[in-house]
Structure 1
Amino acid sequence: MTDSNFYALLIGVNCYLPHRLSDGTYYDNLQGAVNDVNAVEAFLTVNLKVPESHIFKLTASNPNPVLKEPVEQPEQLPTYANMVLKFKEVTEIGQPGDLIYIHYSGHGGRTITAYPEIKGEAGVDESLVPTDIGQLDKSGQPVNCCLRDLELALLLKRMENKGLIVTVVFDSCHSGGATRGEAKVRGTDTLDKMPQKTDSLVASREELLDNWRSLRQVTRGESSLHLGSLPQSKDYVFLAACSPSEKAFEDGFRCGEEKRKHGALTYWLLDSLQQDYVGLTYKDIYDRIRAKIQSQFPQQNPMLLGEFDRTVFGGDRTAVTQFLSVQKINPAKQQVSINAGIATGIRKGATFAIYPIGNRDFSQTDTRLAIAEVVEYDSTVAVCKLQPIQGQREAALGDPVILLAPPPALVRQVCLFHQEQATADEMALSQLPPNKLTPEIYTQQTQALESLKPAFHVFGQGWIEWADSQSHQNISSDEEEIDYLLCINNQEEYEICDAAGVPYKNINPPVKIHESKASQKVTQRLIHLSKYKAVQELYNSASPLLDKLQVKWLGKLYDYAVEADGPPEQLKKFKPLDDPLNPTIQEGEWIFLEIINFHSHPLRVAILELQSDWAIEQSWPKPHKQGYEEFSPGVADRKVAAFCLSLPEGYQEGVDIIKVFATLGEAELRGLALPALDSPIVAPPGYRGYSGSDPLSLLAKAISQEQAQGRRLNAAYSYREWVVKQFTVRVNLSE
């Protein structure tokens, strides 16, 4: 990539000028949106060498709670007028073939439609919310508005018509809700009915309507993406933080020596781009982002549409790999120093691969000299402990260094969360009569929560550890990140919550604080969730097999007779999916997955299904038959896996995670199986037990044991030749 053909538009909104919504609520100020775009800007300038003059940035900071207005100059603020102006400027400057990157972090909004002739009188416009939303003139008339979906669609279409290569990232949502802890939701449940200006600065009303109609005709029958109502397009890549009905979170993430607020999508996007992304597609990067986000916030499911097979930052250019290098060597301590530190987002425990100097193909694992793990760091230098790879020469000065994704953690941090009183949302949702919602419920929580600690020591078995107890006013900034919050709800039940403080679904039946063996049951559930999470996080972004394994959904059928030999004839009649990456099906429907091996050697493939009731099973091939299916190279050995997903009894909906593993060796996946929650863990049929040192076998060994052996898998063995592709399927109860 040359430094002259990449342009970026970055918009981050922390501060929302007071705007009362129709239900009396407001758009809350955020804390991480400006951090998001600043971090993206740093990545573009440092890693991709994009000139500052090619980056257009609008931000509304709010550094002091006392301040009621952002500190930026008026022309730098993400107002409606400024956002439209910058979209037009970038489009005008860009030339055919140039790369355009657009990143918005802030609130998403939903308003009564300004275009009832195509959406109906009860229609809704989805939008990006500017910092000056809701301002009125002296006569009380609105002077601004949100940037609506019809306007965004035309702004993007103009870029496509000019031949620009566009990537769009929206770290926002339209779904609100209460959370415990420090995490915030980037959206609101409220449909904004307050008056807004309807005259568009993008184009005339007729042009907006004509463009929308033409786009909807082209994409008829396909699902729309949140933000939302933007039609799918083959001409751009669109990555959104979550589906329309879900929440997008911002939370505290460790950046160097401190925690900073970021949107979960932005944080894991940048974390993934810091890996060796060259040659990977947006789908490859998306798989890792989704796995990371859902292990932290299970109810946030990022969405990807458009040209997801396009290479990251790809276009008419030659990618140049950026890498670090070995700066110093301390043979006595088996340590090396590399030119990375706090300024580049490196922290303790980050893992690197060291290659021979002159090497430019960083997809090959067999040329690596050593694995290096950060043990000390300052602003610009990281000191790493070496783990030499047997049979390779010693690392030398100048050897290139590539950041790797860390192996999954085994031990999880659990924090007791003390509430001072029931929130308004909890009061509204309570099943207790109002006269029972007394403060006494919350005075019991200290004794109830503290009673769990002895059970942790007896039954914890090394999989879970205590972190310091928290209240809603005090969130830890310790080195260890919190995985689970444990609290008491207003029905006198223990609740297990994610890092944002949102209770996990399907933790049934509830455990009352006074019932027999309550502490033991809660502890065993936490261990089960920790093992589930370790499997969920398994991903190998550095694998040379990543682009060699092709996996995609083909479609669905309601009536399907399982056939023994070859792809069924019925597949010619399958129905299209609502979303090619994250489909939704009805219970009882069949869904079909195509798998092709484009590697030069046979691959052994098995599929795990992570189910809604916290069970994990090998769903293909069936474990009682064999541990894997071998795929010869080429399209001729294409195979189709059929799934009929079901819901546990009493469930109205669920989300299953499908993980497709491919290995060159004989890694045993059946050992990763887990029963439903509260069931004893037993060896699955045909499982021979631990039989290798690859990360999959090591994790299978850890899950099958009561005691976790260490905090993480050994990084030296975490990047051998295996790969996993992951999908999410939402299952609804049949009507």
Structure 2
Amino acid sequence: MENENKKRLAVLVGCNYPNTRNELHGCINDVAAMRGTLVNRFGFDPGNIQLLTDAAAAGSSSSVMPTGANIKKALGAMVDQAKPGDVLYFHYSGHGTRIPSLKPGNPFRQDEAIVPCDFNLITDVDFRQLVNRLPKGASFTILSDSCHSGGLIDKEKEQIGPSHVTEISNTSPSVSSKPKGIPFESILHHLASLTGINTSDIATHLLELFAADASLKFRLPPFELLNMFESLNPDEGILLSGCQANETSADMTNPVMTRGKACGAFSNAVQMVLKEHEADLSNRQVVMLARQVLREQGFEQHPCLYCNDENADATFLCESHISSSL
């Protein structure tokens, strides 16, 4: 068959930050559920799915902690082994944050990052660099269930987001929920407590603590960051974000909707959409239907889609290709 030799690879990261002031409860459940969905619906080989969590999930375990270095190592290895036609998937459930832009001419702009368990931030520049390393013909889908996740692939084209869709929720969620974000000031304070350095420059702290494992955003000179991705052709990066860049995503528990099991509101919405629609869904449809679920549940977070025009209407995780090769 045409697709027999094409691989489907995944890295799934769930950070609950146990026994800390930033503790969440549903993130590991999110990636455990998605692992089952990848295997049972999308034809992923369990051996091609790497799971990184900061605690044991029900029915599974992880020996690799989701530190910044470990997450980037797993993603880099996945991208490096990809061949044309392969389908790559990264699901992140955990805290996100926004940091002041280090790019010249953008003093008031904020950039997006995810917060691994060791606070070694992975930024929009790191995800852009990973996408740029993809071989032609491979696709890389990122689903980030975290606060401020809109725009997490630097310079990716917005398809669904604040510029294209505006929706207001008229209800309040009847669930127990917590935002999946850590303010920049809190991250800075935590890092400063570890380095003992009296500065508000986050790059100084991250480089002191993590050196070559810190984000490219903090290791490259500003002029290199500015010129790094200036002329980009349409690429194969696809971002489904749990919310807009200026919004928070919820970690929730509800006796009815989730049977008392903690989960990320966006991850749960995607699971509901996939269960309710057996037919192939496009990336655009998954995001719009997830928006509808969250609106009906009373959440004021708006999932977004960032990718090229063709991938906006391509099937989520290339499902139609899978069905013809299984």
3-state SS of paired residue (1:187): coil
**2:32 alignment partner, one of 23, 28, 38:** 38
Alignment partner of 1:310 is 2:319: no
2:279 and 2:111 map into 1 onto residues whose CA distance is 37
Alignment partner of 1:131 is 2:135: no
Shift of 1:124: 3.8
Q: Sort the Cα spacing of 1:316 and 1:271 in 2 relative to 1 into closer, same or farther, 3 A.
A: closer
Percent of paired sites with the same residue? 22
Shift of 1:147: 1.0
2:133 and 2:180 map into 1 onto residues whose CA distance is 28
Counterpart position of 1:319: 323
Structure (1/2) with the larger strand percentage: 1
Conserved 8 A contact 1:109-1:188? yes
1:255 and 1:91 map into 2 onto residues whose CA distance is 39
Counterpart position of 2:8: 6
Letter in 2 for 1:281: S
1:272 and 1:31 map into 2 onto residues whose CA distance is 22
Counterpart position of 2:70: 82
Aligned positions of 1:576-655 closer than 5 A: none
Higher relative contact order (CA 8 A, sep 6+): 2
Conserved 8 A contact 1:151-1:208? no
Q: For 1:494-514, what per-residue CA distance to the aligned partner results, in whole angstroms no more than 9, with x for missing partners?
A: xxxxxxxxxxxxxxxxxxxxx
3-state SS of paired residue (1:304): strand
Counterpart position of 1:171: 145
Conserved 8 A contact 2:131-2:235? no
Shift of 1:284: 1.9
Counterpart position of 2:53: 59
Q: Name the larger-Rg structure.
A: 1
Conserved 8 A contact 2:6-2:85? no
Shift of 1:108: 0.1
3-state SS of paired residue (1:295): helix
Counterpart position of 2:261: 260
Conserved 8 A contact 1:277-1:312? no
Shift of 1:34: 0.3
1:180 and 1:280 map into 2 onto residues whose CA distance is 29
Letter in 2 for 1:269: V
Counterpart position of 1:300: 301
Equivalent residues, number: 276
**2:229 alignment partner, one of 209, 212, 215:** 215
Counterpart position of 2:157: none
Q: For 1:183-210, what per-residue CA distance to the aligned partner results, in whole angstroms no more than 9, with x for missing partners?
A: 1111134444344323443669459964
Conserved 8 A contact 1:99-1:315? no
Conserved 8 A contact 1:167-1:238? yes
Q: Sort the Cα spacing of 1:321 and 1:72 in 2 relative to 1 into closer, same or farther, 3 A.
A: closer
Q: Sort the Cα spacing of 1:53 and 1:210 in 2 relative to 1 into closer, same or farther, 3 A.
A: farther
Q: Sort the Cα spacing of 1:170 and 1:208 in 2 relative to 1 into closer, same or farther, 3 A.
A: farther
3-state SS of paired residue (2:31): helix
Shift of 1:244: 1.6
Q: Sort the Cα spacing of 1:97 and 1:280 in 2 relative to 1 into closer, same or farther, 3 A.
A: same
Counterpart position of 2:164: none
Q: For 1:599-624, what per-residue CA distance to the aligned partner results, in whole angstroms no more than 9, with x for missing partners?
A: xxxxxxxxxxxxxxxxxxxxxxxxxx
Letter in 2 for 1:197: L
Letter in 2 for 1:14: N
1:89 and 1:83 map into 2 onto residues whose CA distance is 10
Q: For 1:263-306, what per-residue CA distance to the aligned partner results, in whole angstroms no more than 9, with x for missing partners?
A: 11111112212234444311122221111111113411111121
Aligned positions of 1:197-346 closer than 5 A: 197-198=206-207, 199-201=211-213, 205-206=219-220, 210=224, 213-218=227-232, 234-253=235-254, 258-306=259-307, 307-314=311-318, 317-320=321-324
Conserved 8 A contact 2:175-2:254? no
- Structure 2-normalised TM-score? 0.72
Q: Sort the Cα spacing of 1:296 and 1:148 in 2 relative to 1 into closer, same or farther, 3 A.
A: same
Shift of 1:241: 0.7
2:143 and 2:226 map into 1 onto residues whose CA distance is 21
3-state SS of paired residue (1:286): helix
Letter in 2 for 1:13: C
1:127 and 1:261 map into 2 onto residues whose CA distance is 23
3-state SS of paired residue (1:271): helix
Conserved 8 A contact 1:60-1:72? no
Conserved 8 A contact 1:59-1:77? yes
Q: RMSD of the TM alignment (CA)?
A: 3.5
Counterpart position of 1:193: 188
Q: For 1:645-698, what per-residue CA distance to the aligned partner results, in whole angstroms no more than 9, with x for missing partners?
A: xxxxxxxxxxxxxxxxxxxxxxxxxxxxxxxxxxxxxxxxxxxxxxxxxxxxxx
Counterpart position of 1:731: none
